[in-house]
């Protein structure tokens, strides 16, 4: 196990528990996704691993060695893409990536080769030689990813790497994240993008108020929700409320303006389609869809349940 | 050690790249300031005797170093803290001292053209003949290092807003109320006593006596005090830099 975090707790002076008895493991070749609301303690966790924040209690081991006692080791072994933008004023993406690769130990030729490879892989060639202050937020974010990943440590930690990035390049970015793991790195990434992450991560960890409220593979987290579907439709405001009340085959409907989502059992699918089709023919409903319950729904459900004070549901 | 030197080299390169646009401006500013202080002080004191002229010239050199190390450098660090660069650098796999040394190198190099301008302008304006000691170069480097170390310790240990105010106060104090451009005897007793503990008197003396060696020779004590202040500044900076929240 490359990264082993055991009962890690960080309590700040004001008594705020940013991390509360967190246990987490990431092995070489794995991508682990860390989810949670803003302020759930995700960044604090990464900062403890890299030695910017000292844990109140608990342990962090990197390759079996105590990383709390040896922050220099942590910085050498871990590459971090921080949540804040990388310092690119006056520097082009190519220069920044090359110099970070060299600082991480690559020689000049290797750094140059890797920088070019990464810039090509993320389709950033157009901006490779443009200075930082002229770059968009997305390009800066991707550059920061490359700075962490061009000559990566054994552990790569990415704090919201997909923010501001356009959909096409987000796909390219996920491929690169995946290939880091395929090359034997342990990847720990923080993201809010549950839907996209689901396709690339081995395991998911959901944090809420500093606690792990769920952990497992995407399939494990789905668990009992595997046979659940959701009926989603849009209608005029008044009709939406009436329709939500009229459909009887599902659970409690959630309505947001014109949009209604009703969880249904898979066995109800045929009837739900017929009902929705009928309503559309009547002109009461604009469009509808039936989809499997998404991991995002489950995540929101977990976090909402956590808000009510329930203890961790561990799915593993 | 090899890792530290390699890191240092790359970090200097990284700093130079990042400051590429501001560096020429800062050098021009520093050069104008260096020459300007001499010209400006000559307006204040229209016909200075040789001792006063010596004070004004060497004081201008010290003030040049104070401006760079205790004002410009900490203000840039404060800006870096606000923009997140500070935390970014702290995650890099480089020795902390290499990081500090790389920063200091750029700041000290930046101050040098201004010093040359000051000396040039002073010898033109006051028609001075200096007996420059070979120690002038290490003395200048020591004072510059002390300024940067103290400036960095302020920027690292205080919030950016406080650092901005403190550095302005230092500049004002050094210019008007420190025995840099004039002898300490002219200060009120309490302020002169305070300056026995602050670095300004000693920095000015180190520069003054190495740029124009007095008949009594170069005093050693000022070197020791300036070095001590440099070490204190460095220790505070290093401590804050390695501290984990």
pLDDT tens string B172-226: 999 899 999 899 899 999 999 999 999 999 999 999 999 999 989 999 999 999 9
A52/B93 Cβ within 8 A: no
pLDDT for position A243: 86
Query: Which tokens go with B139?
Result: 């003395």
pLDDT bracket for residue A292 (50, 70, 90): confident
Distance from C-alpha of A271 to C-alpha of A268, rounded to nearest angstrom: 5
Q: Which of B10, B21, B90 sits opposite A90 (nearest CB)?
A: B21
Phi and psi based region of residue A38 (left: phi greater than 0; alpha: psi -120 to 50; beta: remaining):
beta
φ/ψ (deg, to 5) at A163: -55, 140
Could you read off the pLDDT of B34-46 as tens digits, one per residue?
A: 888 888 888 888 8
pLDDT bracket for residue A172 (50, 70, 90): very high
Distance from C-alpha of A306 to C-alpha of A225, rounded to nearest angstrom: 18
Q: What is the DSSP letter of A312?
A: P
Could you read off the pLDDT of A97-111 as tens digits, one per residue?
A: 999 999 999 999 999
pLDDT for position B155: 94
Residue of B nearest to A131 (CA): B18
Q: Three-state DSSP class for A86? A: coil
Average confidence (pLDDT) over B158-165: 93
Contacts of B87 in chain A (CB under 8 A): 52, 82, 84
Task: Give A131→chain B minimum CA distance, Å.
Answer: 10
Neighbouring C-alpha atoms within 13 Å toward the C-beta of A145: 31
Q: Which of B18, B83, B245 sits opposite A90 (nearest CB)?
A: B18
pTM here?
0.84
Closest CA to B54 of B226, B215, B173: B215
pLDDT for position B18: 85
Average confidence (pLDDT) over B64-92: 88
Domain A3-215 -> CATH class: alpha beta
pLDDT for position A312: 37
B14/A103 Cβ within 8 A: yes
> Does the pLDDT of residue A311 top 80, yes or no?
no
Distance from C-alpha of B110 to C-alpha of B113, rounded to nearest angstrom: 7
Task: Give B34→chain A minimum CA distance, Å.
Answer: 27
What count of residues does chain B have?
245
Distance from C-alpha of B150 to C-alpha of B156, rounded to nearest angstrom: 10
Average confidence (pLDDT) over A235-256: 82
B interface test, pick of A86, A102, A110, A154 with most B CB neighbours within 10 Å: A102
> Does the pLDDT of residue A181 top 90, yes or no?
yes
Query: Which tokens go with A258?
Result: 């014109």
Closest CA to A95 of B94, B15, B14: B14
Q: Which of A291-305, B76-90, B108-122 has the lowest mean pLDDT?
A: A291-305
What count of residues does chain A have?
316
Average confidence (pLDDT) over B108-121: 89
Residue of B nearest to A85 (CA): B84
Closest CA to A101 of A85, A118, A87, A84: A118
A104 touches chain B (CB under 8 A): yes
A90 touches chain B (CB under 8 A): yes
Strands in A65-66's sheet, in edge-to-edge order, are A17-26, A3-11, A57-62, A65-66
User: Is the CATH number 3.40.1180.10 carried by domain A223-298?
Assistant: no
* Inter-residue contact A290 to A267 (CB < 8 Å): no
A95 touches chain B (CB under 8 A): yes
Query: Which tokens go with B69?
Result: 């190390």
Q: Three-state DSSP class for A162? A: coil
User: DSSP 3-state helix, strand, coil percentages of chain A (rounded to 5)?
Assistant: 40, 25, 35
A102 touches chain B (CB under 8 A): yes
Could you read off the pLDDT of A10-49 as tens digits, one per residue?
A: 998 888 889 999 999 999 999 999 988 888 899 999 999 9
Torsion of CA B96, B100, B105, B106, to 10 degrees: 110
> Does the pLDDT of residue A314 top 50, yes or no?
no
* Inter-residue contact A53 to B244 (CB < 8 Å): yes
pLDDT for position A226: 65
A73 touches chain B (CB under 8 A): no
The Cα-based distances of B83 to B77, B94, B98, B130, B165 in angstroms read 10, 20, 21, 45, 19
Q: Look up the domain containing B219 and give its range.
A: 2-242
Q: Three-state DSSP class for A139? A: helix
Q: What are the residue ranges spanned by the domains of chain A?
A: 3-215, 223-298
Q: Which of A249-263, A278-292, B9-23 has the lowest mean pLDDT?
A: A249-263
Phi and psi based region of residue A191 (left: phi greater than 0; alpha: psi -120 to 50; beta: remaining):
beta
Contacts of A47 in chain B (CB under 8 A): 245
pLDDT bracket for residue A316 (50, 70, 90): very low
Distance from C-alpha of B28 to C-alpha of B182, rounded to nearest angstrom: 27
* Inter-residue contact A26 to A188 (CB < 8 Å): yes
> Does the pLDDT of residue A134 top 60, yes or no?
yes
ipTM: 0.83
> Does the pLDDT of residue A122 top 60, yes or no?
yes
- Strands, E assignment, A126-265: 155-159, 186-190, 203-208, 211-216, 228-234, 254-256, 259-265
pLDDT bracket for residue A294 (50, 70, 90): confident
Q: Which of B17, B22, B84 sits opposite A85 (nearest CB)?
A: B84
Closest CA to A89 of A143, A157, A170, A159: A143
> Does the pLDDT of residue B85 top 90, yes or no?
no
> Does the pLDDT of residue A199 top 90, yes or no?
no
Residue of B nearest to A147 (CA): B92
Could you read off the pLDDT of B224-238 as tens digits, one per residue?
A: 999 999 999 999 999
Burial of A225 (0-12, 13-18, 19+ CB in 10 A): middle
Q: Give the residue numbers in B contacting A (CB under 8 Å), as ranges.
A: 7, 10-11, 13-14, 17-22, 80, 83-85, 87-94, 242, 244-245
Task: Give A80→chain B minimum CA distance, Å.
Answer: 7
A interface test, pick of B2, B84, B88, B97 with most A CB neighbours within 10 Å: B88
Torsion of CA B26, B31, B33, B36, to 10 degrees: -160
pLDDT bracket for residue A308 (50, 70, 90): very low
Phi and psi based region of residue A7 (left: phi greater than 0; alpha: psi -120 to 50; beta: remaining):
left
* Inter-residue contact A197 to A191 (CB < 8 Å): yes
Query: Which tokens go with B23?
Result: 């560096």
Average confidence (pLDDT) over B48-59: 88
B80/A75 Cβ within 8 A: no
φ/ψ (deg, to 5) at A154: -65, -30
> Does the pLDDT of residue A252 top 60, yes or no?
yes
Domain count, chain B: 1
**Summary mean pLDDT of chain B:** 90
Closest CA to A190 of A249, A127, A148: A148
Residue bearing the bigger pLDDT, B86 or A50: A50
Distance from chain centroid for Cα A203: 11
* Inter-residue contact B55 to B182 (CB < 8 Å): yes
B88/A87 Cβ within 8 A: yes
* Inter-residue contact A146 to A97 (CB < 8 Å): yes
- Report for A80-89, A170-179, B15-24, B94-103: range of highest mean pLDDT: A170-179
B interface test, pick of A41, A83, A87, A151 with most B CB neighbours within 10 Å: A87
Distance from C-alpha of A200 to C-alpha of A177, rounded to nearest angstrom: 8
* Inter-residue contact A110 to A89 (CB < 8 Å): no
């Amino acid at each position: 196990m490359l990264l082993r975090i055991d009962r890690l707790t960080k309590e700040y002076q004001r008594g705020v528990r940013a991390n509360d008895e967190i246990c987490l493991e990431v092995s070489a070749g794995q991508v682990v996704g860390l989810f949670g609301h803003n302020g759930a303690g995700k960044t604090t966790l990464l900062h403890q691993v890299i030695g910017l924040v000292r844990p109140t209690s608990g342990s962090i081991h990197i390759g079996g060695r105590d990383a709390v006692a040896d922050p220099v080791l942590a910085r050498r072994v871990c590459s971090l893409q921080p949540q804040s933008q990388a310092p690119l004023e006056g520097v082009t993406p190519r220069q920044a990536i090359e110099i970070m690769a060299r600082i991480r130990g690559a020689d000049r030729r290797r750094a140059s080769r890797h920088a070019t490879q990464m810039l090509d892989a993320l389709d950033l060639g157009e901006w490779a030689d443009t200075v930082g202050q002229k770059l968009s937020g997305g390009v800066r974010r991707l550059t920061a990813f490359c700075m962490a990943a061009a000559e990566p440590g054994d552990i790569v930690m990415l704090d919201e790497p997909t923010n501001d990035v356009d959909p096409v390049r987000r796909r390219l970015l996920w491929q690169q994240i995946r290939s880091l793991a395929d090359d034997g790195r342990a990847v720990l990434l923080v993201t809010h993008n549950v839907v996209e992450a689901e396709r690339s991560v081995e395991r998911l960890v959901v944090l809420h108020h500093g606690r792990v409220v769920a952990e497992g593979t995407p399939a494990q987290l789905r668990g009992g929700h595997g046979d659940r579907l959701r009926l989603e439709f849009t209608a005029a405001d008044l009709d939406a409320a009436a329709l939500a009340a009229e459909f009887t085959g599902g659970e409690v409907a959630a309505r947001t303006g014109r949009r209604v989502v009703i969880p249904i059992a898979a066995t109800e699918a045929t009837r739900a389609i017929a009902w929705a089709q009928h309503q559309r023919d009547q002109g009461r409903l604009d469009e509808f869809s039936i989809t499997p319950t998404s991991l995002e729904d489950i995540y929101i459900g977990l976090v909402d349940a956590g808000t009510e004070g329930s203890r961790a549901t561990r799915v593993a | 050690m090899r890792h530290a030197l390699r890191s240092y080299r790359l970090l200097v390169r990284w700093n130079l790249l990042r400051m590429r646009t501001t560096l020429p401006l800062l050098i021009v500013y520093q050069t104008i300031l260096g020459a300007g202080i001499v010209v400006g002080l000559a307006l204040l004191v229209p016909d200075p005797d040789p001792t006063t002229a010596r004070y004004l010239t060497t004081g201008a050199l010290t003030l040049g170093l104070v401006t760079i190390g205790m004002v410009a450098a900490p203000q840039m660090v404060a800006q870096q803290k606000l923009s997140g660069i500070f935390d970014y650098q702290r995650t890099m796999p480089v020795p902390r001292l290499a990081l500090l040394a790389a920063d200091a190198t750029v700041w000290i190099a930046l101050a040098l053209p201004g010093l040359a301008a000051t000396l040039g302008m002073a010898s033109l304006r006051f028609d001075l003949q200096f007996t420059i000691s070979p120690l002038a170069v290490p003395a200048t480097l020591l004072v510059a290092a002390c300024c940067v170390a103290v400036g960095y310790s302020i920027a690292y240990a205080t919030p950016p807003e406080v650092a901005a105010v403190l550095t302005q106060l230092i500049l004002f104090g050094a210019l008007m109320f420190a025995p840099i451009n004039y002898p300490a005897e002219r200060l009120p007793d309490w302020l002169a006593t305070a300056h026995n503990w602050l670095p300004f008197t000693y920095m000015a003396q180190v520069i003054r006596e190495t740029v124009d060696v007095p008949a009594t020779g170069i005093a050693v004590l000022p070197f020791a005090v300036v070095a001590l202040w440099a070490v204190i500044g460095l220790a505070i900076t290093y401590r804050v830099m390695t501290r984990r929240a």
